[in-house]
Chain A
Amino acid sequence: MALILAAAPVCMMYLTWLERKVIARIQDRVGPNRVGPYGLLQPLADGIKMLTKEDLVPEGADRLCHFLAPVLIVVPALFLFTLLPFGPGWVAAPLKTGLLFFVAIGSLGTLPIFMAGWGSRNKFSLLGAVRTAAQLIAYEVPLVLSLAVVPMIAGTLNLEQIVWAQQGRWFIFTPWGAAGFLILFTAGLAEVNRTPFDLPEAESEIVAGFHTEYSGMKFALFYMAEFLSTLALAGLASVLFLGGWWGPLLPGFLWMGIKTFLLVCVMIWIRGTFPRFRIDQLMEFAWKVLLPLSMINLMAAACSAMIPGIAGDLAALALLAGTFLITTQLWLIAKPQLTKKWSSRIVEQTWDSS
């Protein structure tokens, strides 16, 4: 218990350092290099700076909401780490319903964000908060559905036994596993508000979104929760699809660490590479592409489990590829028609007024 409580924040601090270093390299900069060798003490310096900043609460704000939000957002993020198995038997809470509990705790993060936005009594905060709520619930659905294929094949919700079930073949090397992993990763990026899905804190549109009115340590706590859930998401993806602690030569917990680290690096890479989504693209991508894809993924998993041999896998693959093509085409074709409808409406209005 104490180990998790101590290790998770330290990991998170160095994750901020890693992210800044990697992003700097991608953007052809050096990144933090003044405090300590290679800027390794930068997170500590940041922490001290955050501690010595004034804590402002805007006038007319809901003070209780404003205070509770940063506290409540960190606690569920910490909970996630009690459920992840880092090696055989290395899990703090080996719940039988581990996966379901993980999802339940993970989706609690929406509420404090909305509290923060509503409690601040600031227009940007409220905009950020409603956007967050819309985005998180939109991506929650494909996320949960993509997770459901794992218990189908593993036959259990216990995260440790799910890893045991991957002894021969990691789930990512099956068609449904690969699709599930991609859906989980995409929806997960949206769940933890990372680029390209970082609309809730889009600084070029709504200042800083839900944490516009936060300063000092409370502001740092929001970042802490975000990075902690990023880590937990990478951990969950490696447990469910990348075979957890399985791997040659090295001890199990190291493999788990390596896989998590690599996934986090990919997320940072994505942040350094992709521009932000527009809000309509964001919502429609979730509801029109990811949702049917994750539904079909359930059928694909059923196919490869029911039909023996390679035929089942091929059928699953065909099903998934077909759905992806159809949904993306439907999604993209629908757009110009919409704009046409819009423009005609605008023309009619101008005619009426003139």
Chain B
Amino acid sequence: MSDRLIYLFLGLFGLAALVVPLLPIVLARFIAPKRPGTVKRQPYECGMEVEGDAWVKFRIQYYLFAILFVIFDVEALFLFPWAVVFKQAGPAGLWAIGIFIGVLMLGWVYAWQEGALEWE
């Protein structure tokens, strides 16, 4: 099977897989009772009256970790092609990737030093 055929299969599978979650939801729409009420539709807050909006700003720290994640995930993406040809590339490839990882790890040490990895 060529790769193109496999991607076609995966696309079709994706469409077919939509049935698995949609079927019970649609089925439930017919079976399940519907008795809406204003109190019922309030967001859950442990039974207390709802106070304020939920859509608020959240901490900057989450963004910081997200940026770190992007750095390391892109790095991982570069690592995979190297990993596949690792044995052919030999010591030269190892040096190249070693320098690449080394530079990134320097950045990681810097981030640790600056306290970016502390969760307060």
Contacts and interface: CB of A to CB of B under 8 A. Distances in A.
A325 interface: no
A220 B27 CA distance: 13
Contact of A122 (B44, B66, B80): B44
A71 B24 contact: no
A9 B16 contact: no
A153 B16 CA distance: 36
Contacts, number: 203
Contacts of B54: 120-123, 125-126
Contact of B44 (A118, A148, A207, A338): A207
Interface string A81-94: 01000000000111
Contact of A217 (B14, B24, B38): B24
B36 to A, nearest CB: 8
B103 to A, nearest CB: 12
Contacts of B19: 5
Contact of B79 (A130, A140, A298): A298
A55 interface: yes
Interface stretch (A34-42, A46-54, A257-265): A46-54
A157 B90 CA distance: 18
Nearest to B109: A292
A250 interface: no
- Secondary structure at the B interface, as helix, strand, loop or mixed, is helix
B76 to A, nearest CB: 4
Contacts of B85: 155
A311 interface: no
Contacts of B6: 93-95
Nearest to B119: A280
A70 B20 CA distance: 11
A332 interface: no
A4 B28 CA distance: 23
Nearest to B86: A152
Nearest to B29: A55
A221 B24 contact: yes
B9 interface: yes
B65 A53 contact: no
Contact of B45 (A99, A123, A292): A123
B31 A137 contact: no
Given A126-B55, A151-B84, 9 more contacts: A51-B31, A55-B28, A59-B43, A123-B43, A153-B86, A216-B28, A221-B21, A221-B25, A291-B108
Interface of B: 1, 3, 6, 9-10, 12-14, 16-22, 24-25, 27-29, 31-35, 38, 40-46, 53-56, 58, 62, 65-66, 68-69, 72-73, 76, 79-80, 83-87, 91, 94, 98, 101, 105, 108, 112, 117-120
24 contacts: A5-B20, A51-B32, A55-B25, A55-B32, A56-B40, A60-B43, A75-B18, A82-B9, A121-B54, A122-B44, A124-B44, A137-B65, A140-B73, A141-B69, A141-B72, A144-B73, A151-B86, A152-B84, A157-B80, A207-B44, A213-B44, A287-B65, A292-B105, A298-B83
